[in-house]
Amino acid sequence: MESLEKIQQYVTELFAKLNFEKQPLMLYEPFQYTMSLGGKRLRPLLVMLTADMFSADLKDAENAAIAVELAHNFTLLHDDIMDASPLRRGKPTVYQKFGTDKAILSGDVMYAKAYEYLLKCDTEKIPALVKTLTSVLVQVCEGQAYDMDFEQRNDVTRREYITMISLKTAVLLAASLKTGAIIANADAQSMNALSEFGLYLGIAFQLQDDILDCWSDLNEFGKVIGSDIVDNKKTILFLSAVEKANDEDAKELITWYLEKTTDFQKKKQRVIELFEKYNVKEDVEQMIGQYTIKALEALDKITVEEERKENLRTLAKQLINRKK
Amino acid sequence: MESLEKIQQYVTELFAKLNFEKQPLMLYEPFQYTMSLGGKRLRPLLVMLTADMFSADLKDAENAAIAVELAHNFTLLHDDIMDASPLRRGKPTVYQKFGTDKAILSGDVMYAKAYEYLLKCDTEKIPALVKTLTSVLVQVCEGQAYDMDFEQRNDVTRREYITMISLKTAVLLAASLKTGAIIANADAQSMNALSEFGLYLGIAFQLQDDILDCWSDLNEFGKVIGSDIVDNKKTILFLSAVEKANDEDAKELITWYLEKTTDFQKKKQRVIELFEKYNVKEDVEQMIGQYTIKALEALDKITVEEERKENLRTLAKQLINRKK
């Protein structure tokens, strides 16, 4: 078994070696731009860590790891258009830099390329790998649709929100772990346990993202602070605050989230003030703690020695305590 | 072996039975709208005809036929955004009716659903089916990129144009035939011959589309007449006309195609006048004839009795003589 740091290094070097730029440049320049922006490479790391946990060679997991990262970046490319996000990883988003048409098309080809990488894996594993990736991408699209729908609605519940982020974010983490398990020929019980781990970890991860959107340093975070508030995204912070607030404050929060154009600085400041008044950050941190415990408990069901699970445990804790 | 009409009927009924509408509606309403608009269902028909040619049960080809039609419609959904096309099959395009965001997202999920249908096929055929679909979708994206690039360029050659339409249109026809052949366990020689047939037929088909864009009846064609001219699409008609025209007329044509906003009716009328002055329609009809002959010759290499190839022969002739 390799150390977490060594596998992280392996993933970083794997992606540093890739170059997708070729003709037609209209298609592959935005593609390469996206892939060269970096990011956490969390999903390929999960593929690799799982493969390694079941004693597979890291080399055998490379193509599947690249596939999940391509699939993830495809969803980001298109989400950034829909969410009109100006920044990603501290740089202009593809649609901002290259225009909407190129962002659509290079996203499309990136999705196809994800399958191309899966097709480089052992033939007998291809059906399971394709099934895992396809099923998760349907769910990610559904999650994104709910996310957009929630922007228009005023009766979103916390339960609906957790379902939405499960679809939009957590299932891809679960699928990355399962992908590594398929590569390593893991047993069905372990695969299910890994999916459960990924799902709970993914929810905790996204709730942490909601907190970071309000309380973090732009230079570290790489996205615009408070953009969820500007976009009227009814995150867990908003839903929790509306639930706890007195009538007057709840009404004020809802009114802010109905605004289309407004003084964004004032809006962000006032909304965060209300979040702080009701201590919703602490509530969400408690939720994150609970989901993290559930995630770690799921690891118990995996049929390898305890010490082989240490990398996933350490990573889970790092993710929950991250600043970006 | 079934008759062409019977298989056409089978395909029509297959798609009439499908209903993709479910929650979240934001995602699946545009999806179902697209799939219910009909169209020629040419690609699933090619899957079915090929499967039938090699004596497979039509039922066994259903999922693969649905997959290629979903993949095709996914590309249309996104192309219509990029080309700003108002009409498709005589109805508003998805991005016009539901907005760009929903058109992007429902296109994405449609693409994933194409793979979902492939995954319903026999497990041992899945790797080959996924490979065929994936490889063609990369090429279709590349074709669309060249198409967009050509709108900005003034030095496009006829050869480049044929390459572009091969990628954008013909390879998917070839892949549909190959898909049917995989389902029916056809031999490699026949698969290659079918790909060749599909490629030449697809080129002829697109050249015919270029003609129909200029000279057809809106009610039959279902798209805006002359939209290629309005969009400055350097079709084979334009490229042939510029090549044949005297300096003055060539300059006029090029000038029209540099226009961004203009009197579209006048532009269309004058451009078509120049096309007619140089008989480019007749030239292109001759090219179509040549590609059709090459397509039909490719059929000779398929290892089934001649009479089993009759449906593909008849269909090829129908497509080339179509009015929409």
Q: Where are the domains of chain B?
A: 4-320
Residue B29 confidence (pLDDT) above 70: yes
Q: What span, in angstroms and rounded, lies between the C-alpha atoms of A252 and A273?
A: 12
Neighbours of B26 (CB within 10 A): 21
Q: Write out the H or E segment, with its range, that includes residue B288.
A: helix B280-299
Q: What span, in angstroms and rounded, lies between the C-alpha atoms of A213 and A196?
A: 26
Residue in B closest to A77 by C-alpha: B104
Q: Average of pLDDT values for A135-161?
A: 94
Q: Average of pLDDT values for B140-163?
A: 93
CATH, range A4-320? 1.10.600.10
Confidence label for B151 from pLDDT (cuts 50, 70 and 90): confident
Closest CA to B320 of B223, B208, B210: B208
Neighbours of B153 (CB within 10 A): 10
Q: What span, in angstroms and rounded, lies between the C-alpha atoms of B261 and B252?
A: 16
Residue from A124, A138, A146 to probe the interface with B (highest B Cβ count within 10 Å): A138
CB spacing of A108 vs B137 below 8 angstroms: yes
Of residues A84 and A127, the one with the higher pLDDT is A127
What is the pLDDT, as a whole number, of residue B188? 96
CB spacing of A27 vs B142 below 8 angstroms: yes
| B149 contact A CB<8A | yes
Amino acid at residue number B78: H
User: pLDDT digit string (tens) for B71-111?
Assistant: 999 999 999 999 888 888 889 999 999 999 999 999 999 99
CB spacing of B26 vs A148 below 8 angstroms: yes
CB spacing of A104 vs B127 below 8 angstroms: no
What is the pLDDT, as a whole number, of residue A97? 96
What is the pLDDT, as a whole number, of residue A261? 62
Residue B220 confidence (pLDDT) above 70: no
Confidence label for A131 from pLDDT (cuts 50, 70 and 90): very high
Neighbours of A209 (CB within 10 A): 18
Closest CA to B66 of B119, B3, B144: B119
What is the pLDDT, as a whole number, of residue A241? 96
Residue B248 confidence (pLDDT) above 70: yes
Neighbours of A28 (CB within 10 A): 21
Say yes or no: ipTM exceeds 0.90.
Answer: yes
Radius of gyration for the alpha carbons in chain B, expressed in angstroms and rounded: 20
**Mean pLDDT computed over every residue of chain A:** 94
Residue A225 confidence (pLDDT) above 80: no
What is the pLDDT, as a whole number, of residue B222? 64
Cis peptide preceding A24, ω within 30 of 0 = yes
User: pLDDT digit string (tens) for A256-311?
Assistant: 988 766 688 889 999 999 999 999 999 999 999 999 999 999 999 999 999 999 99
Residue A189 confidence (pLDDT) above 80: yes
Neighbours of A212 (CB within 10 A): 18
What is the pLDDT, as a whole number, of residue B115? 98
Residue A221 confidence (pLDDT) above 70: no
**Mean pLDDT computed over every residue of chain B:** 94
| A84 contact B CB<8A | no
